[in-house]
């Protein structure tokens, strides 16, 4: 068979198939054609030497916000995807029923894949917060209608449950989100934040397969340590998602959960306009923070590939390199050393490894470099975030002006059909 693309000699970690070792990966017609040692090279149209590199399925970020221009939090995923290895970006509640059609149109313009969690509030995340203070916006029948008409796009229901978002409505928005999810046979993802409602009150409402994001935020601590409701929920099959964001991750809480035998099932960034330039940055950086607390690399890769795909029942082939799957691939340089990384509170831990993305493929096509848009005027950046943004812009501009890169040629080669 003549392959369109052959990555040779990389260290392949594909938790879904149990592969963890040196192998070649062949791509034909935008799909994985073969994975194995010393695959034939004759006739291959593009040969990539991946020796000394880590090759994984395209990463799946379970919690992002990618609806810019229509929401407070939204960002364009493409300028981050090409240099992070994330090929599937789950938009976690940016749109409710009122904005879902507009989000669908936005998704069509991206090079990456964007499954969606529907916000129980029909107004979605247009503002900073408060979307569920008016219960009239949390219309169960309207949300069910929106899900039913968009089964190809919507893979779950999202509810932000904290004092600022729900006001005096307490747990009622969550109850309504659960009603929609159960009627549509989908999971609920619940954001936990500043009480009330307390985490001990909301977790018992969740069932097996539902997801609590920001699982290692400060709210998970009770007066005497971890809130016992966490243990009960975890044992009952509720999935714990990291959901780093700009305020949702603390090392000491995660370490307490690990000591209790409750590692997160999935690792996600909650990447949005206020976390993109720190402290989350991107999914490989967030993954390194799990390495910093002692989780093994294969488990961390699983938490960013097969586990989130399974959690939402994403289309077959997501987060895997099995033969026949869409050829979504990430290639990394693995740097060994001592890499200090901060949580949202400035606590530091050191990761023994750092992943630097060298190439990201969606359906076998290399994603080209692109510059991120400037932050919107309503998003305040710290000095450290402004410095990080400037460094990123310089590095991308240097790449785009390199004599080895022809931007016009890239645009032509990777133009969407």
Which string of DSSP letters, residue by residue, matches 61-90? Answer: EEEE---TTTSSS---SHHHHTTT-EEEEE
| Rounded Cα–Cα distance for residues 23 and 322 (Å) | 13
The residues, any chain, with a CB within 8 Å of residue 136's CB and separated by 6 or more, are: none
Longest CA pairwise span in the chain (Å): 67
| Rounded Cα–Cα distance for residues 59 and 85 (Å) | 6
Categorise residue 167: left if φ over 0, alpha if ψ from -120 to 50, beta otherwise: left
| Rounded Cα–Cα distance for residues 85 and 386 (Å) | 23
User: How many other CB atoms sit within 10 Å of the CB of residue 348?
Assistant: 10
Alpha carbon distances (Å) from 89 to 31, 113, 186, 268: 19, 6, 18, 10
Strands 239-241 and 225-226: unpaired
Strands (DSSP E) along 187-272, which ranges? 188-192, 211-213, 221-222, 225-226, 239-241
Mark the binding-site residues, compressed into ranges: 63, 65, 158, 191, 214, 270
- Measured in degrees and rounded to the nearest 5, phi and psi for residue 143 equal -65, -40
Mark the binding-site residues for Zn(2+), compressed into ranges: 63, 65, 158, 191, 214, 270
| Rounded Cα–Cα distance for residues 255 and 37 (Å) | 38
List, in sequence order, every residue forming a beta bridge with 159; answer none if it has no partner: 190
| Rounded Cα–Cα distance for residues 179 and 150 (Å) | 18
User: How many other CB atoms sit within 10 Å of the CB of residue 4?
Assistant: 17
Q: Collapsing DSSP states into helix, strand and coil, what is residue 58?
A: coil
Alpha carbon distances (Å) from 87 to 214, 328, 381, 393: 22, 7, 27, 21
Alpha carbon distances (Å) from 64 to 155, 319, 324, 364: 14, 16, 27, 23
């Amino acid at each position: 068979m003549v392959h369109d693309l052959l990555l040779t000699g990389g260290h392949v970690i594909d938790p879904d198939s149990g592969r963890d070792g040196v192998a070649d990966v062949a791509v034909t017609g935008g799909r994985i054609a073969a994975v194995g040692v010393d695959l034939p090279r004759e006739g291959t149209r593009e040969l990539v030497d991946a020796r000394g590199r880590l090759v994984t399925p395209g990463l799946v970020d379970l919690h992002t916000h990618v609806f810019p221009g229509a929401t407070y939090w939204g960002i364009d995923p493409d300028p981050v995807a090409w240099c992070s290895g994330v090929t599937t970006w789950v938009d976690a509640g940016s749109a409710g029923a009122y904005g879902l059609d507009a989000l669908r149109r936005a998704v069509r313009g991206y090079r990456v894949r964007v499954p969606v969690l529907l916000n129980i509030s029909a107004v979605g995340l247009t503002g900073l917060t408060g979307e569920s203070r008016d219960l009239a916006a949390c219309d169960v029948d309207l949300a069910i209608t929106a899900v039913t008409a968009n089964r190809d796009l919507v893979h779950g229901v999202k509810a932000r449950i904290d004092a600022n978002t729900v006001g005096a409505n307490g747990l009622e928005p969550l109850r309504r989100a659960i009603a929609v999810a159960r009627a549509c046979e989908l999971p609920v993802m619940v954001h936990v934040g500043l009480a009330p409602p307390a985490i001990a009150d909301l977790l018992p409402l969740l069932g097996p397969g539902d997801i609590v994001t920001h699982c290692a935020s400060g709210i998970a601590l009770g007066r005497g340590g971890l809130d016992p409701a966490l243990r009960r929920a975890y044992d009952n099959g509720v999935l714990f998602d990291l959901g780093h964001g700009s305020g949702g991750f603390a090392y000491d809480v995660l370490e307490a959960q690990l000591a209790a035998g409750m590692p997160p099932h999935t690792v996600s960034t909650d990447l949005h306009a206020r976390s993109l330039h720190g402290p989350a940055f991107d999914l490989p950086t967030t993954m390194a923070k799990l390495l910093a607390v002692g989780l093994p690399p294969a488990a961390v890769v699983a938490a960013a590939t097969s586990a989130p795909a399974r959690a939402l029942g994403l289309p077959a082939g997501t987060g895997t390199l099995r033969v026949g799957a869409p050829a979504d691939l990430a290639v990394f340089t693995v740097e060994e050393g001592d890499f200090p990384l901060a949580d949202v509170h400035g606590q530091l831990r050191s990761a023994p490894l750092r992943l630097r993305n060298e190439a990201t493929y969606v359906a076998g096509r290399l994603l080209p470099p692109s510059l991120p848009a400037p932050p919107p005027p309503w998003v305040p950046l710290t000095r450290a975030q402004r410095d990080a943004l400037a460094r990123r812009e310089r590095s991308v501009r240097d790449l785009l002006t390199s004599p080895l890169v022809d931007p016009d040629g890239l645009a032509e080669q990777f133009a969407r059909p």
